[in-house]
Structure 1
Amino acid sequence: MRLTAQDREELVRVTTTGVRPASMIMRARVLLALDTSVGEVDSKEVIAARLGVSGETLRLVAKRFAETGGDARATITRKKRDLPPVPSPVTGEVEALLIAMACSQPPQGYARWSLRLLEKHVALVEDLPDLDHSTIGRVLKKRNCVLT
């Protein structure tokens, strides 16, 4: 792989100055070591031993460099997620219904609501998604609701 002079200068700056994530510095060092624009490159085993990385890391960084079209900056930075994170089932409306249930009278035979009892009753209500007792506890704790 060949780096431009500007890319090479930027990678040297990444590895020598400032505070950056260790993974970014490691990928920048790998790119600098695999650069053929400055002359003959050592074997992959020698490079891996010198940088303290595996041969697989060398292969993956070179592959990412090829996938980004030779963009060194895109190679050393984190990839964007392909899929967005899973949205929370707890919306404002669900939270309000959950708090209203927790503040209401407990069912007959119970002195107070527990998280597991709330979990059972949430499963019976059609408007609410099935929530785990730990999720219910997090919602109530966030709103400073005390089960009495």
Structure 2
Amino acid sequence: MLMIIHRLHLTAEERQTLEGWQKKYKKQSPKLRQLQIVLNSDEVTGRRPAGELAPVLGVSTRTIERVRCQFCQEGMGMFEAKARKTRSDKKIDGRVEAHLTALLCQSPPDEEPRWKLQVLAERLVSLQVVAHISTTMVRRLLKKTNSSLFTAPSNG
């Protein structure tokens, strides 16, 4: 297996910034460990080998190599906050709830006495109200609106 050695050369400004950031993280923070790995991997002040650094920081040598590689690729940007992904249930807004309520006001398909969760979910997708929606999310929306116009799945 070919091992690539990543050499880090921090400027005085970068080193000072990283040392300042060390104070803002809690002791067990993953970001603090990354900072410590980068600071101890600096060629200018004396690089410590991964085998020597790993037991001191309580991480594996692979983690040290991975952090060094990430710093070489991203630089100081690796310490910036990453954008959080929006949960799918947060994409459900009042518009979807209004469409669901409107569907419930219509008569159910196939001579059924009540709407089924799966049919409601499929109908919302076919009307292109949402790209996809689970029956669980439909159930939550109905519970939120206190609607009793559907048939909940039975456990038997």
TM-score (norm 2): 0.65
**Structure 1's 32 and 131: CA in aligned 2 closer, same or farther, altered over 3 A?**
closer
Distance in 1 between residues matched to 2:83 and 2:66, nearest whole Å: 16
1:146 maps onto 2:152 in alignment: no
The residue number in structure 1 matching 2:55 is: 49
Native 8 Å contact 2:25 2:32 kept in 1: no
The residue number in structure 2 matching 1:127 is: 127
**Structure 1's 101 and 80: CA in aligned 2 closer, same or farther, altered over 3 A?**
closer
Q: Percent identity?
A: 26
Q: Which runs of 5+ in 1 are unaligned?
A: none
SS state at 2:127 partner: coil
How far off its partner does 1:134 sit? 0.8
Which stretch has the larger CA shift, 25-34 or 98-107?
98-107
**Structure 1's 38 and 134: CA in aligned 2 closer, same or farther, altered over 3 A?**
same
Distance in 2 between residues matched to 1:79 and 1:106, nearest whole Å: 45
Distance in 2 between residues matched to 1:130 and 1:14, nearest whole Å: 42
Q: Which runs of 5+ in 2 are unaligned?
A: 1-7, 150-156
Cα RMSD, aligned residues only = 3.4
* CA offsets 1:111-142 (integer angstroms, 9 cap, x no match): x545346346x27x842566421121233345
Native 8 Å contact 1:102 1:147 kept in 2: no
Number of aligned positions between the proteins:
137
SS state at 1:53 partner: coil
How far off its partner does 1:27 sit? 0.8
